[in-house]
Amino acid sequence: MGSAASVSTDANGAVRLQTPSRIVSAFLNLANKPHHAPLVAAKTQWKITQPYSGSNGEVSTNEQELLLLLHDPVGQKHIGAFAKKILTSETFFCWKKISELEVSNNTVATADFFDPLMCNIVADMCQSTFLRFKTTPEYEAYKRDLKDTYNKVTIEDFEYLELLGSGGFGRVVHARKKSTGKHYAMKIQLKSGLLDEHHDQLSQITSEKDILQVCHNPFVLDMQYSFQTPAHAIIVTELVRGGDLGDALKASRDGYLHEDRVRLYAAEIGLALNHMHELGLIYRDLKPGNVLLGEDGHVILADMGLAAGFDPTKLKKEENGYRYEPIQPKLTRRKTTVGTRGYMAPEIISGKLVKRDQRPGYTFAVDFWSLGITIFELMCGFQPFSMHSGGNFFQEVANEEIFRLSPRTQHKIELQKMAQGVSFPPHLSRHAQDFLNRLLEVSMEQRLGCNSEKGFGEFMEHPFFETVDWEKLMMKHIDPKFKPALPLLSDKKIYNSYEHMMSHFDIRDKDFIRHDWYADPDPEMQKHFETWDYISQYTLRAELGIAKELDETNIPYKVLQLTGEDSKTKNAVPK
C-alpha cells in the first residue's frame, strides 16, 4: 500500500522510518540486532488487513470508500495500476519474520503499536492517490468493470444435484459451480412472493441478503453469490450437511445432549451473535432449528429472515456505479414483536400486550434470552417455560385446554412462568445452572452478556466456559469431539438444467404450490431488486486465482469473463 512513511538510513546505516517516534525507536532497536533477518524490499500491497478506525476514531467518507475499494479484488487491481502509473506506488522494507519482533521496553510494543502508521498510510493513499483516481477515466473504467464482474453469475454457471427443501415461495437445491467444482446450497425465492410479503415495507426485500453480505464470521452462514432471473431472487451459500441442532437433539439416545458438547455450541453461537450485535444487528429468531451443524462439528447460525438493524457496510447501487454508505449508529431499540413461540424474550412478549406506541422496545438482549432457552433445551431435552410443562401452576389447567385460551391470556401465563424462575434436572452442573439462570434473567439489563460496562466479555468469562480457549475457537482451531456421520459428497448431476430442476420441484410440491413460480413482476416492481447481485470478495479472489492456475487452453468461459480475458479475445486483431 502507498504511505506517507519514508525509509532512510542514519550515519551508522540503521534504518529509520519517518513515522511516530515510538515506532521509530522500536525499529531502530531491532535493526541494529545482528541476529534478525535482513531488511528486504516488499512488493506494494493495496489492501487493508485489519479493521481501521482513523486517527480520531472516525473515518471520512472518502476513506470509507477507499477502504471498501481496497477490500475488493477488482478495486485492488484498478487502483494498484493507477498508483504505479502516477508513481505513488511505494516500496517498503520489512523483516522476513515479524515473529522476531523483540522490544526490550514493554511500553513501546502495545496492542495499537502500528495504529499511527496505519493512519498515515490511509491518509496518504486517500490524498495522494484515491482522490486523483476518482477524477480520471480509469475510475470510470473501474466502475464499469465492477458492475460487469458482479453481474456475471447466472443459472447457467451451476449444475443441479439434489432438491433439499421447499416451502412458501422458497426452494433450496444442492448445486455445484461449474468453473470451480465447489458445492453450494442455492436458495431460490419467488420475486412476487417477496413483494407480497414485504408489500408494506418494500425496502426490506433485500434485508436477508444484505445481512448475509456483511456478516463474515466462522459461525455465521457464508454467502458466496446472489443473482437473479426475471422471476427469481437467488442466494448461494455454503453447503451445510449436518442437519440442525434440533435434529441432533432428536437423535440423542438420552433425550438431551451432554454438557461438554453443548458448551462448544453455546460458545460458538455466542460469538456469532456478538458479531451481529457489533454490526448493529439483532437476530431475533434463535432456536435449535436455525443452528446448523457442519461436517467439521462446528455450528453455523443460519436463516436471517427475522434479523434486523442497521447495515454498516452496505453498497448502494446507483446509475453511476457504487457508493459507500457511512456507518450508522447502532440500533438500540426495536418494537416489532416477532420471533418463535417458546423462544421469545419477556420484553418481546410483554410488547404484545400493549399498542406499538406504548412499547418501551427491546435491545439485542433478546438474543441472549433465546440463547438461554436454546441451550437449556439442548442440555435438558425440553423448554424451561413450555406451556405444556408440569408444575403447580398448571395442575388446574389441562394441557389440551391451554391453547383454547386467548393469545393475550397465554402471553400473561408465559410471563408469569418466566417470573417464577427455572427448575433444573439433577444432571446439570452448578456452573451450567448458573450460566442458564444468568441468561434467563427477566431483567434485560441484568442478563448475562448485556451489561453496559462488561458487555460480551462477561459472557466469555463465565465459569461455564473456563475450559474454552476463545482465541483458538474463533480460528476454529478446536476440534469438536462430535462430528456428524455423513455420506461422501456426490458429484453426480441429476438435472440437465435449472428449468429441469424446477420442473421436478413442481411435480413434488404440486399439492402445496400457492404461487405461480414462473410469473415475472412488472418492470416497476423489478427495480426493488436492483441491488440484488453480489459476489463475495473471497469467492471472487478464489475464482481469479483458479483462472491464473488453469492452462490457458482450458480456461472455462465464465472464468474468462470474471478475469476480463474474454473481452481481450473478442477484441483481438487477427494476424
Burial readout 118-151 (b: 16 or more C-beta within 10 A, e: otherwise): bbbbbbbbbebbbeebeeeebbeebbebbeebbe
Grid cell listed for 278: 457489533
Q: How far apart are CA 190 and CA 169, in angstroms?
A: 5
Residue type, 110: T
Do 309 and 408 form a contact (C-beta atoms < 8 A)? Answer: no
Residue type, 6: S
Active site positions, annotated: 285
DSSP 453: T
- CA distances, 322 to each of 72, 80, 146, 150, 325 (Å): 12, 19, 9, 11, 10
- CA distances, 381 to each of 237, 256, 287, 506 (Å): 30, 5, 13, 37
Strand partners, 323: 316
Helix (H) or strand (E) holding 286, with range, is none
Listed in order, strand segments (DSSP E) in 257-298 are: 281-282, 291-293
Grid cell listed for 217: 464470521
Among the residues of 86-200, which ranges form H helices?
115-124, 131-133, 137-149, 191-197
> What phi, psi does 71 have (nearest 5°)?
-85, -5
Q: How far apart are CA 64 and CA 134, in angstroms?
A: 14
Q: How far apart are CA 180 and CA 176, in angstroms?
A: 8
